[in-house]
Structure 1
Amino acid sequence: MTKDIHLYTASTMNGWKPVIFLEEAGVEYDLTHIDFAKKQHKHPEYLQLNPNGRIPTIVDRSNNDFVVFESGAILWYLAEKYQKFLPQKPDERSVTLQWLMFQMGGIGPMMGQAMYFQRIAAKQGEENLFATDRYVQESRRLMEVLNARLAKSRFLACGEYTIADMATYPWARAFYWAKVQVEDLQHLNRWFDEIDARKATQRALTIPKPFWAFFGKGNVEVQERENADRFKSDVISRSNI
């Protein structure tokens, strides 16, 4: 039986977002693992689906093969399609989307750059202390914003687990990989503990395959080296500009 949703993704913070939704919602789906090492995200057939050449992307076969790219847009689309993890009351819905955009516009970009400069560029001999400090400090500030919010609310948007939490969790939980200190952020860590206990979310972090180094687990040194080597050509091409 053909499943409605075909997901194209990889094991990254953005890549896990729709997997978390689908696993939590109990929705069956087909999955294509996009291999960065083989540059599959740049293949012409994939670029026809996602012109930005990034992951994730979904195709909704039940909606005339409608394509959605950008992880936040995918979560929003799935939430509306399945009527899950997005409150129906207008104010609560708006708050959920505000925190979703907070992740998309702030936490993802800032922590992503902190990770890139420390875990990829520096490993290829391109160390930029100014950039590293800027992105790490801004990531810490954003974690403090989350902590303040979670002091007032069990979850980010309201009293229930929503797509705002799904979007933010894999990024914030990877504070280790961004080298951002969060030990003193009590409410953020309480939120981590609660989502750490959600079996469906944790299962999603193993699909298409786990990358435990993001969370400071497993053989971090080996996975860090493999990750840096995967993006070696990107660093070298930029250093020659």
Structure 2
Amino acid sequence: MSHGKQFTLYTHKGGPNGWKVAFVLEELGLTYHSIYLDFAKGEQKGPEHVKLNPNGRTPTIVDHKNGDFAVWESCAIIVYLVGTYDKQNKISVSDPKERITQLQWLFFQASGQGPYFGQAYWFKAYHPEKVPSAIERYQKETIRVLGVLESVLSKQEWLVGGKFTVADVSFVPWDISAFDALLVDYPGFSLEKDFPAVKAWHEKVISRPAVAAVLAIKASIN
């Protein structure tokens, strides 16, 4: 077993997706050792990691108590973790219909939030030339996704089951990017004014001890 911990988490210091897996591991009290792959050196595409994750991206987990079972894609990892290790439904739901709703939000995070927020960040910070139309498109999509969340959270405290779940925490890393970088110069953007329910929900999630502990680790290494 690697480093005496149950899990090895292959991740990245800055990339959002590994952090949401760390949130879930921490919430469930599961022990893990993080290996931060250096993208500049292409370590995520190296043979050791690609053997575990043929997509060559992060995150990937290895569960040493389950035959060194490897899982990749962050939301698939989350589904595996709660399905295997959250039998008391501490941060998940048990009702069959609510399980589908929880899965629906994880799919939306993976297909709706992550790609659009990621493209917004790419064109704003990393693309070699400024493409205003692309920046505008993905900033607008970021606003749209926040609007979807606001439309639900203005009517209920949590996304599913009337309680905090993995559905809620999965949105946190990209939301932080949106609030701190993606939308800071967006004309007229006001989180407090336009998305008050999202703001209140986000603050409740990041104030949870397990989430706050992981965010402190993130801050200390970046």
> Which TM-score bucket, shorter chain as reference?
0.7 to 0.9
What is the Cα deviation at residue 183 of structure 1?
3.2
SS in 2 for 1:153: coil
If the length of structure 2 is used for normalisation, what is the TM-score? 0.88
Aligned to 1:236: none
Aligned to 2:141: 138
SS in 1 for 2:97: helix
SS in 1 for 2:82: helix
204, 207, 214: which one aligns with 2:214: 204
- Mapping for residues 58-69 of structure 1, pairs under 5 Å: 58-69=61-72
What is the Cα deviation at residue 206 of structure 1?
3.7
Matching residue's letter, 2:181: W
Matching residue's letter, 1:73: A
Aligned to 2:111: 105
Inter-partner Cα distance in structure 2 for 1:211 and 1:106: 29
SS in 1 for 2:61: strand
What is the Cα deviation at residue 147 of structure 1?
0.8
Where in structure 1 do 4 or more consecutive aligned residues deviate above 6 Å?
Answer: none
Give me the CA root mean square deviation.
Answer: 1.8
Determine if contact 1:49/1:57 at 8 Å carries over to the other structure.
yes
> Which structure 1 segments of 5+ residues have no match?
213-222, 224-241
SS in 1 for 2:35: strand
1:192 and 2:192 correspond:
no
Matching residue's letter, 1:3: K
What is the Cα deviation at residue 196 of structure 1?
2.5
Aligned to 1:177: 181
SS in 2 for 1:49: coil
Determine if contact 2:169/2:205 at 8 Å carries over to the other structure.
no
How many residues align structurally? 209
Determine if contact 1:119/1:177 at 8 Å carries over to the other structure.
no
> Which structure 2 segments of 5+ residues have no match?
none
Q: Which moved more, 1:70-79 or 1:29-38?
A: 29-38
1:28 and 2:37 correspond:
no
Aligned to 2:131: 128
What is the Cα deviation at residue 211 of structure 1?
7.8
Aligned to 1:153: 156
Q: Name which structure has the greater RCO, CA cutoff 8 Å, separation 6+.
A: 1
Determine if contact 1:55/1:70 at 8 Å carries over to the other structure.
yes
Inter-partner Cα distance in structure 2 for 1:158 and 1:174: 27
Seq. identity, %: 40
If the length of structure 1 is used for normalisation, what is the TM-score? 0.81
Inter-partner Cα distance in structure 1 for 2:206 and 2:170: 14
Q: Deviations for 1:139-194, whole angstroms, at most 9, x for unmatched residues?
A: 10110110111112211223211111121111123213222633321100111221
Per the alignment, do residues 112 and 211 of structure 1 end up closer, same or farther by CA in structure 2, a change over 3 Å counting? farther
32, 44, 47: which one aligns with 1:44: 47
